[in-house]
Amino acid sequence: MADTPLFPDAPIPGEQSLTLDVEGRAIAVRSLAGAAPGLFWLGGFKSDMAGTKAEHLARWAAGQGRANVRFDYSGHGESGGPFEEGTISRWLEEALAVFDRATRGDQVVIGSSMGGWIALLLARALAARGENRVKGLVLVAPAPDFTEALMWERFPPPVRELIETTGRFLKPTLYGEEPYVITRGLIEDGRRHLLLGAPFAVGCPVRILQGARDEDVPWEHAVRLVSCLAEDDVVFSLVKDGDHRLSRPEDLERLTEAVADLA
């Protein structure tokens, strides 16, 4: 869910903008050269790479002389394509393409909300390919399986029927004037990537930051994730007065510490 840009007019020295073609979709990327392990940012649903947390980490990486890559999924921010055509499969495909083509060496992957789900899927996909460049995951209010557990299972019957018959539902949101378009394709595709039904391993340390006052992704959802990662080194930090965004100065400090611990 969207953050408010913190430094909208202040460019980061050395950061370059590029566009990658992923199956005909123009994916906007911002890349900063530097030392490894680099940072690889994965944003949330309807968020973009100019949000507070992504911008903060890019500036921190620049100050540390560390590489950093951030991008917008198709239908988000500066990238092309209609949002309504987006699915977890499509956004994962884009994340893998950017990771392959825009990063070098070891990486710490940071995922916020939906980006936490994408991060877990990315790490699993890379491990299946025999790659071990992901040295750690930092997940902020991670929302694996959100299309099913936090949307479909919570939708009342009339909303489910609307999605099944018309293919879409306009979901009100607190993060902007326009409602989120929830499509049948998004819901059905999400079922191909569910993670929380059984234990699984990502093969690297995982750090989770979760707000206790998060109304979008309840803290109990993150605890379900922790229980599934039984084989990995997991540290779960509950911010008692934190909301979903976790973008206050003290939250950004916690995020920086978690990233620095792995980087």
pLDDT in tens, the chain (263 residues): 445 445 555 789 899 999 999 999 999 999 999 999 999 999 999 999 999 999 999 999 999 999 999 999 999 999 999 999 999 999 999 999 999 999 999 999 999 999 999 999 999 999 999 999 999 999 999 999 999 999 999 999 999 999 999 999 999 887 766 888 999 999 999 999 999 989 999 999 999 999 999 999 999 999 999 999 989 999 999 999 999 999 999 999 999 999 999 99
Which backbone phi and psi does 241 adopt, to 5 degrees? -105, 15
Q: Is this model's pTM higher than 0.85 or not?
A: yes
Question: Is 244 a catalytic site residue?
Answer: yes
As to burial, measured by CB atoms within 10 angstroms (0-12 exposed, 13-18 middle, 19+ buried), residue 147 is buried
Catalytic hit among 47, 56, 244, 251: 244
Question: Is 3 a catalytic site residue?
Answer: no
Which backbone phi and psi does 191 adopt, to 5 degrees? -65, -15
CATH, range 16-145+196-262:
3.40.50.1820
Catalytic hit among 31, 47, 112, 113: 113
Question: Is 214 a catalytic site residue?
Answer: yes
Catalytic hit among 214, 221, 247, 251: 214
Which backbone phi and psi does 155 adopt, to 5 degrees? -70, 135
Please state, in angstroms and rounded to a whole number, the distance separating the CA atoms of residues 20 and 218.
35
